[in-house]
Amino acid sequence: MLTPTLTGCGERSHLMSADINLDTHITDVVNVIKWEELSRVVLCGHSSGGWAISGVVEKIPALIDSIVYLDAFLPKDGQRPFDMQSPGSQEAVLAAKEAGEISRPPGSKDRYNIDPRNRAWVDSLATPQPIGSSLQPIHLTGALERVPKKAYIRAIAYPHPYFSAYYEVLKNDPSWRRFEVDCGHLVMVDKPEELTGILIDVA
């Protein structure tokens, strides 16, 4: 299992740049798959990672066997992350742009309903987010629909209007599988064993 970090975040925070956009983050993941010579990939994106994986499958569709949206955005062509962010995140992006900054502080994690036992650890790892990746519209041609196996995982203890709407709509699409996990937004932190089981099942 590989867990790519997007440019400007986490251990790649030293690469923060005004040049980072959504294409940068898509390329981050595409290059891991290419240079690791992977195939029949189970591609999983969490939260805003839904934007990146939607772009990845456009670039290398033949290498993706399964795609999993983990409590994630499921964008349509022409949408941009900023337009679907929370009001607080939008304000932070606009404030950074107005000030000539290239990143915004990590968003408040209070709303994520994180297990209290994991909260301090999550807080210690949070880094600023590049604003450029929020402002670029995504270009999609429908490659996602040709992925053989598709799944959406909903963290039911985290209220989110978009994620709930995706989950509801997909129940009418037989090409998708749906899963619920009883925890907050950070499923991979609070319920790693359950998430692993789902990913193996989807694969």
Known catalytic residues are 47
Q: Residue 137 half-sphere exposure, CB side, CA atoms within 13 Å?
A: 6
Q: How far apart are CA 19 and CA 24, in angstroms?
A: 8
Residue 114 tokens, joined: 């994180």
Cβ-Cβ contacts under 8 Å for 68 (sequence gap 6 or more): 42, 43, 44, 45, 150, 151, 152, 153, 198, 199, 202
